[in-house]
A and B are shown apart, each in its own frame.
Chain A
């Protein structure tokens, strides 16, 4: 994996649409496709469908590169959002229930799942700022109520809708919506408190 700065350069070069844009886009693909395919696979659950999502996602990345915000500190997050949204749309159009197919490892071991899915350690290329932010998020997720944390992680990892979450957790839709909303509010307030504490 290249660092954020390199990926940002490749994206800007891709957006330039001149000689060398194809080379930059190819480097971007070679660097990021394995991660993005893994992200798609977690949501659509089928290899061939995940490859389709990857294809459509990169076609969108090629077209949308010019709208990438060069001030953004998180180019990988931008790529992930495009691929996740495509995966969510493809999954929704498949019209099949996936809810039964999730193993319940999360239910028993939400913290283990957090560490399997995400990497919280410092990356070699990361600034102090970024490293601290990741740690705050990790700590604040751990402080959430279990139901809130579980809803957020399930929704993020598998791209579940409110309705699918409600079915999976066997809770009323309104309850699940509240967990998600409250979970995000609590998460933000907790991270903001951490930010304030170092100021």
Chain B
């Protein structure tokens, strides 16, 4: 029987969205979604009813290697705009050429050597003896934070690490990232760019997988260190 005429069509749609439709039953349903218009129409109706929007609190930053691997596995280079046809490239080239010219002039006048764009260590995080020391480094533009652990530290299955900024003003801790490992590199939340300065501290707490359920640290703080910029 076609699924679109099935007396349990509604039950199937609901359980498909819920995730309890499994195995062969789910594959049959997915085939019907492609082949039977009434089935996909009914599912679209169900999507209007069952539309939970996940909270941003469950977000986790994927590892930087993830995208590179995907790009390689799917051979995405074939579908990129060639560099010489990208408007942004020429705009960037013009800006860079101008900037280089200006910079060259300025450097010749004022600076003996050009500074590199390596991230700069801004804090040493330490804790109990059995937890590795972690260095926090900030990119020169202040937008990307990197953590380097002296020894690898990876969260257990039901845990995440959460990195907090304890602002210089003494206000409530602000979550910067939820991490599975203490070797990580991620973009700072835009609102926190520029707030990592002397007087503030960084701290790492252990939280349930996915991060603190309350938006404030709930687990033990295992690492802490003052920011020194």
Q: Interface on A for B, CB 8 Å cutoff?
A: 1, 17-23, 25-26, 29-30, 33-35, 37-39, 41-42, 45-48, 50-51, 54-55, 58-59, 62, 67, 69, 71-74, 76-77, 80-81, 84-85, 88, 92, 101, 103, 105, 115-120, 123, 130, 133-134, 137, 152, 155-156, 159-162, 180-181, 184-185, 187-188, 191-192
Contact status B53-A47, CB under 8 Å: no
* Chain A residue, CB-CB nearest to B57: A116
Q: How near does chain A come to B124, taking the closest CB pair, in angstroms? A: 25
Q: How near does chain B come to A117, taking the closest CB pair, in angstroms? A: 6
Q: Which residues of B contact A29 (CB under 8 A)?
A: 67, 70
Range, interface on chain B: 35 or more
Q: Per a CB cutoff under 8 Å, which of B26, B52, B62, B160 touches A54?
A: B62
Q: Interface on B for A, CB 8 Å cutoff?
A: 10-11, 14-15, 17-20, 22, 26, 34, 40, 44, 46-63, 66-67, 69-71, 73-74, 76-82, 85, 154-155, 157-158, 160, 180-181, 208-210, 213-214
* Chain A residue, CB-CB nearest to B45: A188
Contact status B209-A35, CB under 8 Å: no
Contact status A123-B53, CB under 8 Å: yes
Contact status B51-A41, CB under 8 Å: no
CB-based A-B contact count at 8 angstroms: 175
Q: Per a CB cutoff under 8 Å, which of A37, A81, A116 touches B60?
A: A37
Contact status A59-B70, CB under 8 Å: yes
Query: CA A159 – CA B17 in complex, angstroms?
Result: 11
Contact status B77-A22, CB under 8 Å: yes
Query: CA A46 – CA B157 in complex, angstroms?
Result: 5
Task: Given A59-B74, A116-B213, decide whether A155 and B58 contact each other with a Cβ distance below 8 A.
Answer: no
Q: Which residues of A contact B48 (CB under 8 A)?
A: 73, 133
Query: CA A186 – CA B54 in complex, angstroms?
Result: 22
